[in-house]
Amino acid sequence: MKDEQPPRNWVCEASEKGPELKIFNVRFDLMRNPRNGERERMVILESPDAVNVVALDDQQRMLFVRQYRFGISRYTLELPGGMVESEEPQEQAVQRELKEETGAVARTWSYLGCIPSNPVFQDSYIHHWWAQGVEIAATPQLDDGEEIFLEWMSEAEVYRKLMSGQFEHPHTVNALLLYFHTKSQEP
């Protein structure tokens, strides 16, 4: 095996704005490859950060949403979440998203961590939260482009689905991995 070389810096020689879309702004960056000196026009999707939540009720059931995803043309089972609005604190955003998508509120909140949304071409992060004492308190307030069905699931069932690859949304997978890892570290 070859000794690994330290990463070299890619140089952005120019940027230009592209179209503004529903939840993304497109940016084109002209990048120089440090390996061969070639220039390539890269697409970057600029968007706000997002949040999602591992939401548990007092019976240790997790709340999921089944939501239609246009990119794959089918419903996926995922954690509640959404975009952080401009100047909105993340904790406020995750509380708002939980209530909007599910009608639920929670007693306590903990931050689990974050990852890039999709580092291949997005500039945003997804922040994962853990809510306890969750209960349905209101009617969901869905966006015009949403149709959501709520599903409660035991921790054991969630863990089995996670470990067998049944969750398709990578943001849900990462949040659940962080949740189960955090739980395993508790005394």
User: What residue segments make up the domains of the chain, in order of their start?
Assistant: 11-46, 50-185
Both structure tokens of 143: 């966006």
Give 186's pLDDT tier (boundaries 50, 70, 90). confident
**In Å, what is the CA distance from 43 to each residue of 26, 46, 72, 121?**
7, 10, 21, 6
User: Residue 7: what pLDDT?
Assistant: 81
User: Residue 3: what pLDDT?
Assistant: 61
Contact call for residues 14 and 28 (beta carbons, < 8 A): no
Backbone angles phi, psi at 184, to 5 degrees: -70, -20
Strands 104-105, 108-116: pairing kind: unpaired
45-91 pLDDT, tens digit each: 999 999 999 999 999 999 999 999 999 999 999 999 999 999 999 99
Which residue in 116, 96, 119 sits closest to 106, CA to CA? 96
Give the mean model confidence (pLDDT) for residues 9-34: 96
User: Residue 157: what pLDDT?
Assistant: 98
Give the mean model confidence (pLDDT) for residues 83-111: 97
Rounded Cα–Cα distance for residues 31 and 50 (Å): 27
Rounded Cα–Cα distance for residues 71 and 10 (Å): 30
Give 1's pLDDT tier (boundaries 50, 70, 90). very low
Give 2's pLDDT tier (boundaries 50, 70, 90). low
CATH architecture of 50-185: Alpha-Beta Complex (3.90)
Geometric angle at alpha carbon 24, from 116 and 20, rounded to 5°: 155
Q: With the CA atoms of 103, 107, 111 and 116 taken in that order, what torsion angle do they form, in degrees rounded to the nearest 10? A: 0
Give the mean model confidence (pLDDT) for residues 88-101: 97
**Percent of the chain predicted with pLDDT > 70:** 97
What integer best gives the mean pLDDT of the chain?
Answer: 95
Taken in order 66, 180, 55, 50, the sign of the CA dihedral is negative
1: number of CA atoms within 13 Å, CB side?
Answer: 3
Angle between helices 170-185 and 155-163 (to 10 degrees): 120
At position 104, the amino acid (one-letter code) is A
Give the mean model confidence (pLDDT) for residues 153-181: 98
